[in-house]
Structure 1
């Protein structure tokens, strides 16, 4: 396990798809990002000087105290929120508004009750105007990949919470997004189902290959799934430390929990978050 901390880059702005010096641009870059909200009674700084580079195909987990700006960070990457200062780039291109090429999975599956699992997944294709035949083929591939065979025609009320989140994951992956954002997607599930979904997500991610940013409050989940874990400070949120987990890509859940790399990374995160709690 190694720890690192990224400082704000001062290089000239790269062209789309490139980093300074002609290197491939990071899939996601946050450079000196600050977010301030203004209300009638006060100004709130949600994020302060956040810097982060995420390589293509990398899985990043983001942990930190409640209210530190983790979800705000995902909204910045999605283009749903503009930074007050600094910039956000996807593959070298500055994010200037809502990005339609990303995938987004939320804590609640938000399925339409009157549509079957397959038709909920295909809603993405309808909204994007994707070719129907290819979209249906892709949906069927994802249904098989996520263990939903036999439930494609079931309605949301006939599905467990874990199955509903599988549908939401399929919907987010239907258009083969290069970047997948996940905001506490398994937070409402029971412990056993959450472990099963962690295992499923690890496998699906290896088979589909997107860059993933996952917000979670679960340290074991972060360490099991991620290549690196970003630990954030209390509000105003900034990057306290970035921890490289150092686990193999293919990970058995039970065996991984006993690996020294997992224990070391999880222990370091607990120490950092414990220090945070002690001083706030």
Structure 2
């Protein structure tokens, strides 16, 4: 494997000293039922720095989504611990943002009112929430569609609304679970470009689960490659790409080709979701 795949020459945001934004330390997850016990994750440890973008790839059922649930406090580890902003995660975290594969918008609410649902749930000051919503609408290219209802929006635009909703309260960490998996190839490419730009502008720490190796390498600082269940970390790849990435130019870079080829080799597949 060439050295430039594992050497990061620059960073899109300054790295802060001290505790990482997310720390997953020696985590096991076991599910027990009357019939059998299943180990979903075994001895998983990874630190994510402030403002870092980390993508997680691996075969279906390896525990990728389970890792996000641990960080969100929706699931407790059977062993080990998870820390968020230096604080041990011991229950559901309300300060994070979460984006799922489906936008899960309320059909009877406009795009703007779907975004502001976050503010209502969190009892944010109305004026502050509206100002933040306007900022996010402009950032995500939704201007002119604020009053449209979900059925009037394309899949990509619905996911933009979901992203705005997740970012409304300015979370320190954004979790994304296959957010573009249901989109067509061209829309997914555009959403990748937009997400990378938004990440650079906001400096939010992002953990992304994806089946697409190309998506992971294009978007992330580092890619966590997981083994089949029970999920363990096979390797963590530093992609070595510049902070600012033109999509077409990035696809042709040696660093991109080297990283995607190496990850495919680790997963033992020629495609792995691409």
Compute the TM-score of the two structures, normalised by the length of structure 2.
0.93
Tell me which of 58, 73, 76 is aligned to 1:64. Answer: 58
Q: CA deviation at 1:201?
A: 0.1
Whole-angstrom distance in 2 between the partners of 1:2 and 1:162: 33
Q: CA deviation at 1:92?
A: 1.2
Q: Are residue 148 (structure 1) and residue 142 (structure 2) matched?
A: yes
Q: Which runs of 4+ in 1 moved over 4 A?
A: none
Match of residue 113 from structure 2: 119
Whole-angstrom distance in 2 between the partners of 1:248 and 1:98: 35
Whole-angstrom distance in 1 between the partners of 2:269 and 2:177: 24
Whole-angstrom distance in 1 between the partners of 2:246 and 2:18: 32
SS in 1 for 2:143: coil
SS in 2 for 1:162: helix
Q: CA deviation at 1:275?
A: 6.9
Aligned residues: 258
Match of residue 238 from structure 2: 244
Whole-angstrom distance in 2 between the partners of 1:110 and 1:241: 33
Tell me which of 36, 45, 54 is aligned to 1:51. Answer: 45
Q: Are residue 175 (structure 1) and residue 169 (structure 2) matched?
A: yes
Whole-angstrom distance in 1 between the partners of 2:123 and 2:246: 38
Deviations 1:156-191 (A, max 9, x none): 000000000000000000000000000000000000
Match of residue 10 from structure 2: none
Tell me which of 14, 20, 28 is aligned to 1:26. Answer: 20
Match of residue 128 from structure 2: 134
Deviations 1:191-222 (A, max 9, x none): 00000000000000111111000000000000
Match of residue 208 from structure 2: 214
Whole-angstrom distance in 2 between the partners of 1:148 and 1:250: 23
Q: CA deviation at 1:248?
A: 1.2
Relative contact order higher in (CA < 8 Å, ≥ 6 apart): 2
Unaligned stretches of 5+ residues in structure 1 = 4-22
Unaligned stretches of 5+ residues in structure 2 = 8-16
The Cα RMSD (Å) is 1.3
Q: Are residue 101 (structure 1) and residue 101 (structure 2) matched?
A: no
SS in 2 for 1:267: helix
Compute the TM-score of the two structures, normalised by the length of structure 1.
0.91
Tell me which of 180, 183, 188 is aligned to 1:189. Answer: 183
Q: CA deviation at 1:276?
A: 11
Q: Are residue 2 (structure 1) and residue 28 (structure 2) matched?
A: no
